[in-house]
């Protein structure tokens, strides 16, 4: 097989020499599939209104995108990584080690995470404590820590509908799961007192208690969905009692099929999330390789265009699609203009 590999490599090099002379004039973006719809909306508008070609936007996940960004500097590396979670110090270190010294962090807005069920089903009004009581492996019952006995939502709180508990939650490879764990499960764990019981069991170790909070039951009541929201939607279609976890924009595109649940008495909308009333949301980011700013034509323009008021503002196309506009957008615009690189975390 070596021989064929060799001949292919020769062919590749021959082709490469004829093409590499022309510099890349297209912006290359990769990363989070949550940010992808927003990035493609901006890329499309950018291609329509500027002399530069439409950027290429890849999905593949936040982590993969950041890893690609940190691969090095040069035309065959990407310019921007979209990310639905903040970059980690280890990513920054990898970047530095590979010669990517300056990266800009751009926060584009907030993404709401909503809980929705079939449009013809019951109405739900949840609190994070309900979700913890429904899905956790261990809950407090009559003052004791026991294996989760709850079967119906009404077992948890009598004013919840008498429906069997069945939840489709994002699988562990999704960034959404992290937010779900932190803002719903752990928050609910603290709310309903399980956290204290778990902390006591772990001799006061809060980290261990939080970890124990996130242990979900494995008796088929909580189902991890490793695919995307379309899969969750079709699962709900087949299982009318189930409740699924969605992004706000996905829900807004399917309001004729899904009924959204309130969380802590607040209905998720762009407004309630922007006001900080709805508890389950997270910031979305993209990271720009500063070394490419003057090399790849249009990169600076794209970054500025993305955070401009007419795109990312509260009346722009992104907000219309379900992105919660960042109240501090003006600050971001300023930073982008000055190409302010991010420092190290902590």
Partner 1 sequence: MTDMTAATPAKSPSASEARTRRRNASERRFRLMGLIAVAIGVLALVGLLVSIFANGASTFRQTYITLDIYLDPARLDKSGARDIEEISKVSTFGYAPLIEDSLAAAMAERGLTGIDADDAADLISGEEPAMLRRYVLNDPSQIGETVEFNLLASGRIDGYYKGRVTMASAELDRNVSPEQLMLADELKEAGILTTRFNWDFFTNPDASDTRPEAAGLGVAILGSLYMMLIVLVLSLPIGVAASIYLEEFAPRNRLTDLIEVNIANLAAVPSIVFGILGLAVFINFVGLPQSAPVVGGLVLTLMTLPTIIIATRAALKAVPPSIRDAALGVGASKMQAIFHHVVPLAMPGILTGTIIGLAQALGETAPLLLIGMVAFVREYPAGPPEGFFDPASALPVQVYNWTQRGDPAFFERASGAIIVLLVFLLFMNLIAIILRRRFERRW
Q: Judged by CB under 8 A, does residue 306 bind partner 1?
A: no
Q: Judged by CB under 8 A, does residue 48 bind partner 1?
A: yes
Q: Cβ closer to partner 1: 7 or 89?
A: 7
Mark the segment that binds partner 1 (CB under 8 A) among 46-54, 149-157, 183-191, 273-281: 46-54
What are the Cα distances from residue 38, in Å, to 82, 111, 238, 317?
10, 11, 29, 9
Query: What does the per-residue mask of binding to partner 1 show for 55-94, with x meaning CB under 8 A?
Result: -xxxxx----------x---xx-x----------------
Q: Judged by CB under 8 A, does residue 18 bind partner 1?
A: yes
Q: Judged by CB under 8 A, does residue 16 bind partner 1?
A: yes
Q: Judged by CB under 8 A, does residue 139 bind partner 1?
A: no
**Exposed/middle/buried for 276, CB within 10 Å: 0-12, 13-18, 19+?**
exposed
**Exposed/middle/buried for 211, CB within 10 Å: 0-12, 13-18, 19+?**
middle
Among 35, 45, 166, 280, interactor with partner 1 by CB under 8 A: 45
Q: Judged by CB under 8 A, does residue 262 bind partner 1?
A: no
d(CA 70, CA 95): 4
Q: Judged by CB under 8 A, does residue 119 bind partner 1?
A: yes
> Which residues lie below 8 Å from residue 215, measured CB to CB, with a gap of 6+?
136, 137, 138
Q: Judged by CB under 8 A, does residue 253 bind partner 1?
A: yes
> Which residues lie below 8 Å from residue 289, measured CB to CB, with a gap of 6+?
69, 73, 77, 78, 79, 80, 100, 102, 103
Among 194, 232, 249, 290, interactor with partner 1 by CB under 8 A: 249
> Which residues lie below 8 Å from residue 108, measured CB to CB, with a gap of 6+?
35, 38, 284, 285, 286, 306, 307, 312, 318, 323, 326, 332
Among 144, 159, 204, 256, interactor with partner 1 by CB under 8 A: 256
Among 19, 143, 204, 220, interactor with partner 1 by CB under 8 A: 19
Among 31, 37, 112, 170, interactor with partner 1 by CB under 8 A: 37
In the complex, minimum distance from the CB of residue 248 to partner 1, in angstroms, rounded to a whole number: 10
Residue showing tokens 């615009």: 333
Q: Judged by CB under 8 A, does residue 255 bind partner 1?
A: yes
- The answer to whether residues 47 and 160 touch, using CB atoms and an 8 Å cutoff, is no
- The answer to whether residues 250 and 272 touch, using CB atoms and an 8 Å cutoff, is no
Q: Among residue numbers 173 through 202, which ones bind partner 1 (CB under 8 A)? A: none
Provide the 8-state DSSP code for 137.
S
d(CA 311, CA 265): 31
Q: Judged by CB under 8 A, does residue 3 bind partner 1?
A: yes
Could you report how far apart the first and last alpha carbons of the chain are, in Å? 50
Q: Residues in the site for partner 1, rule: CB under 8 A?
A: 1, 3-5, 7-9, 11-13, 15-16, 18-20, 22, 24, 26, 28, 30, 33, 36-37, 39-41, 43-45, 47-49, 53-54, 56-60, 71, 75-76, 78, 119, 228-230, 247, 249-250, 252-256, 310, 317, 320-321
């Amino acid at each position: 097989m070596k021989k064929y590999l060799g001949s292919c490599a020769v062919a590749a090099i021959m082709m490469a020499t004829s093409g590499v002379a022309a510099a890349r004039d297209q912006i290359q973006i990769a990363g989070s599939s949550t940010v992808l719809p927003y990035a493609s909306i901006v890329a499309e508008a950018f291609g329509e209104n500027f002399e530069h070609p439409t950027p290429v936007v890849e999905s593949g996940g936040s982590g993969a995108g950041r890893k690609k960004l940190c691969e090095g500097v040069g035309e065959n590396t990407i310019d921007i990584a979209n990310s639905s979670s903040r970059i980690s110090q280890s990513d920054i270190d990898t970047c530095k080690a590979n010669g990517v010294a300056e990266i800009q962090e751009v926060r584009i807005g907030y993404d709401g995470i909503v809980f929705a069920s079939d449009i013809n089903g019951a109405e739900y009004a949840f609190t994070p404590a309900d979700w913890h009581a429904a899905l956790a492996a261990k809950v407090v019952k009559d003052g004791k820590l026991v294996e989760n006995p709850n079967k119906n939502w009404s077992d948890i709180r009598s004013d919840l509908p008498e429906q069997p508990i069945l939840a489709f939650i994002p699988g562990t490879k999704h960034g959404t799961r992290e937010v779900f764990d932190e803002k719903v499960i752990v928050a609910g764990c603290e709310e309903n007192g399980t956290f204290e019981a778990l902390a006591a069991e772990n001799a006061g170790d809060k980290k261990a208690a939080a970890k124990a909070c996130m242990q979900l039951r494995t008796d088929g009541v909580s189902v991890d969905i490793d695919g995307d929201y379309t899969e969750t939607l079709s699962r709900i279609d087949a299982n009318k009692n189930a409740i699924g976890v969605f992004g706000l924009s996905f829900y807004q595109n399917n309001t004729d099929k899904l009924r959204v649940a309130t969380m802590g008495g607040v209905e998720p909308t762009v407004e309630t999330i922007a006001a900080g009333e709805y508890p389950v949301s997270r910031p979305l980011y993209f990271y720009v390789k500063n070394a490419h700013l003057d090399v790849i034509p249009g990169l600076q323009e794209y970054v500025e265009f993305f955070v401009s008021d007419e795109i990312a503002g509260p009346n722009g196309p992104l907000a219309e699609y379900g992105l919660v506009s960042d109240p501090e957008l003006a600050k971001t615009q300023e930073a982008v203009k000055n190409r302010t690189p991010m420092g190290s975390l902590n």
